[in-house]
Structure 1
């Protein structure tokens, strides 16, 4: 055999050896991640349902902006509208993580693949309700509020393991600004998250004051309970709304935020720590405790909320709402369901369901 042939054979063998090493490393990484998060019920990045065609995404360069949103089967239209508003109003390199349940995946994939959202960058991960065993009360009166997906925000680093920072959005929002601006919100050193305070100038004008004590800690926590007393928190401290979160995932991991939240969830099942005047949220109280005076603030215009509250249309002007960077229909009146305020701003971003299963319900056509 000539020297030239020997060299070719050696190169081929080296290439084969390199590919074997790469494959083994990927398999080892998969095993490691499964061991690190055996209960998280997540689909790992290389096992995820990824968006099928990302060729057009090549135009969107720069730092990837991870955005996590949940997709409940009966609210898929909300998720689609929210994602469409984020995507269309920004040229940033947005990567969505969509947390959903097994029975919703197929419907979601069809909706994404057969509309103008087919080119977005996304992965679908599955939330396992077993993760919440012994952590929430099985109270039929709060069944709506204890839907499993509402707790996905507690597990941000699990579902986005590769990121150092991320944005969490509730599904009942519309983003009218560039999501990159929100993503670049400055967090103070040592803070794992930023929220919108309920006493901020944009949301405190009449809206929150009309919601009883829902703008301070006493509206969410029972300050007569010993476990709450021991924390030394002031009952009149302004609360915050966790429908929009900017998370420093490195700090979140280092401070074991998820484990702290789970601790207060479990303690509540034994000691009933939540306020009896609580409107509907069971996810907010643990966050209020863990992030008490340890969170940064989001620009109020990046979380204009209570659009789903009764009479919200009389409290916000059209000019103010149109100038807002992010609108949140928290409250009972959703823009795809019962009559709510400013539904036309939501309709602008809604994409009809190609399967015909989801249709917005309007009680009175022509109502605002």
Structure 2
């Protein structure tokens, strides 16, 4: 299936959900802690189909795949709150890959017992994807927690949201390139195409870039009124890029010690308020105007609406290789609340959650 062909059939379970009565407003936005806690405890997932390589795929030793340069390496975070989204993302990657057996997954999970349970997460992955080549890496979020400043949405303040800054330290040095993906997206194209994005030279990061965005809004008046700070972007394109879809040269990241450079901006943020939007601004401070731009087909973003209301949105014009529910509204929350947006029907076929309405083939 190509990225531009989105011929999905809305499953019966989705239609049944539409016919159910409404839930409470707390359930609609996922803010009800009791409902959310019950949902996390009772989540059970179906086993996904097994996918096989095409005849022309290179041979990768399954025992060496987590370090193999011939593999496509994918990094994602894992936690109980977004596990349902992660499972859908994994399925979509495998389903649309020409060489699914050559995809290696590197999952990062918090060591904090309040946000994740590594044993539960690992067993869930194994049960639904018994053939998957993956490793779960523990992330001690206590060190980054001290650097996090409150932002416009509490979900953005989760320490695990900052794990992408530490991938070069977490993933073994044998992995030189990785595709980092958020948990609120699905692919409808071969991830190998994204992974093969040319970097070259001193550029160590590729991502969908947006130069028509209001770049000024990503930083506070305090930042822009200080010449020593605002001059950071002198001679650079002031372009926003999405950190939920990135191709990263981990070897180059390690050499340039970019983790330290991002942390330095976060430390400054603790002393003076220079931005409001979670982990994105420090990435922009270090990398904006210095990345390889990825075709926008790899980030049909904003499907979760804005950071305040999470209202429904349409697709952007153009071809589609990746659908990204960035923003407040997540498709699984809206489906459970019987308040889906039309485009949530494109996420639903990848939902592996075992429900009373599931029809196993």
Q: So what's the TM-score if we normalise by structure 1?
A: 0.69
1:94 aligns with 2:103: yes
Partner of 2:179: 167
Partner of 1:76: 83
The answer as to whether partners of 1:198 and 1:216 remain within 8 angstroms in 2 is no
1:114 aligns with 2:127: yes
Deviation for aligned residue 1:156? 1.7
Tell me the C-alpha RMSD between the 2 structures.
2.8
Deviation for aligned residue 1:109? 2.3
Q: Deviations over 1:300-321 (max 9, x none)?
A: 111111111155544547xx5x
Q: Residues 224-263 of structure 1: matches in 2 within 5 Å?
A: 224-233=225-234, 237-263=238-264
Partner of 2:16: none
- Secondary structure of the structure 2 residue equivalent to 1:251: helix
The answer as to whether partners of 1:96 and 1:122 remain within 8 angstroms in 2 is yes
Partner of 1:154: 165
Q: In the aligned structure 1, how far is the partner of 2:233 from the partner of 2:348? A: 45
Task: Give the alignment partner of residue 85 of structure 1, picking from 79, 86, 92.
Answer: 92
Q: 5+ residue gaps in structure 1?
A: 1-54, 205-214, 361-368
Deviation for aligned residue 1:104? 2.4
Partner of 1:66: 73
Q: Residues 244-283 of structure 1: matches in 2 within 5 Å?
A: 244-274=245-275, 278=276, 281-283=277-279
Deviation for aligned residue 1:88? 1.6
Partner of 1:288: 284
Q: In the aligned structure 1, how far is the partner of 2:344 from the partner of 2:239? A: 29
Q: 5+ residue gaps in structure 2?
A: 1-49, 61-69, 335-339
Partner of 1:350: 351
Partner of 2:31: none
Q: In the aligned structure 1, how far is the partner of 2:79 from the partner of 2:250? A: 24
The answer as to whether partners of 2:241 and 2:288 remain within 8 angstroms in 1 is no
Q: In the aligned structure 2, how far is the partner of 1:111 from the partner of 1:151? A: 23
Partner of 1:13: none
Q: So what's the TM-score if we normalise by structure 2?
A: 0.70
Deviation for aligned residue 1:257? 0.8
Q: In the aligned structure 1, how far is the partner of 2:322 from the partner of 2:53? A: 26
Partner of 2:155: 144
The answer as to whether partners of 1:335 and 1:341 remain within 8 angstroms in 2 is no
1:177 aligns with 2:184: no
- Secondary structure of the structure 2 residue equivalent to 1:337: helix
Higher RCO structure (Cα 8 Å, ≥6 apart): 2
Q: In the aligned structure 1, how far is the partner of 2:266 from the partner of 2:225? A: 18
Distance 1:239-1:216 versus aligned 2 partners, 3 A rule? farther
Runs of 4+ with >6 A deviation:
55-60
1:220 aligns with 2:218: yes
Q: In the aligned structure 2, how far is the partner of 1:256 from the partner of 1:114? A: 37
